[in-house]
Amino acid sequence: MTGNSILGQISECVVKAESEELVRELTQKAVTEGYAAKDIIDQGLLAGLDTIGGMWTRGDAFIPEVLLSAKIMSAGMEVIRELIVKSGVKPVGKVVIGTVRGDVHDIGKSLVAMLLGSAGFEVTDLGVDVAPERFVQVIKAEKPDLLGMSALLTTTMPGIADTIKAIQKEGLEVVTIIGGAPVTQEYADRIGANGYAPDAVSAVAKAKELLKIKR
């Protein structure tokens, strides 16, 4: 470990995707030393995930490595879950996500949901084949900051546009971000989506950008 502080060591542990046992030990040590839950998350666990995400963007890391780092980070989060509750640290944002009507592809959407959760978002995953009416229902009930939708087939892409139209018809206020193999920025602009991400790591960065989240 080369980090100058315990938080730096936690961050490095996430980046290198070292053992879950080690990140738990380091996180517990930070708690014992009196570090606030928010600092452990921001300067340790999330900082590490942000670093590996940046490496992926530059082509210096691959999706399996990002997933393993997210898993290591989650192990650290488990240690401070009780501390988080006691200290009143809130999620950075609330997200509802799902694959649109007629589409049963799950892997990409689930990866985005997992990475968003690891990045501090509260995520409600509606699964696959989600009708516009269902999205509207959950938005009314959950009042999320962000709605994420995916389509993996050109034949199901209209489900994204239909959902956005349904949201607008109901006068609901929620930021929308879309993705999936056939989806493009041009399509997002055309149907009125607020954002587009070509992959899971980019989706987290775009979510933070759209919601003006600094960390």
pLDDT given for residue 129 in this prediction: 97
Is residue 64 very low, low, confident or very high in pLDDT (cuts 50, 70, 90)? confident
Mean pLDDT of all residues in 153-169: 97
The pLDDT of residue 85: 67
pLDDT above 60 for 83: yes
Angle in degrees, 0-180, between the axes of helices 6-16 and 46-57, rounded to the nearest 10: 40
How many C-beta neighbours within 10 Å does residue 24 have?
A: 17
Give all strands of the β-sheet with 195-196 in edge-to-edge order. 121-125, 93-99, 146-150, 175-179, 195-196
Mean pLDDT within 14-26: 94
Please tell me the pTM assigned to this model: 0.72
Radius of gyration of the chain (CA): 18
Domains of the chain (ranges, CATH numbers): 6-87 (1.10.1240.10), 93-210 (3.40.50.280)
CA atoms within 13 A on the CB side of 147: 28
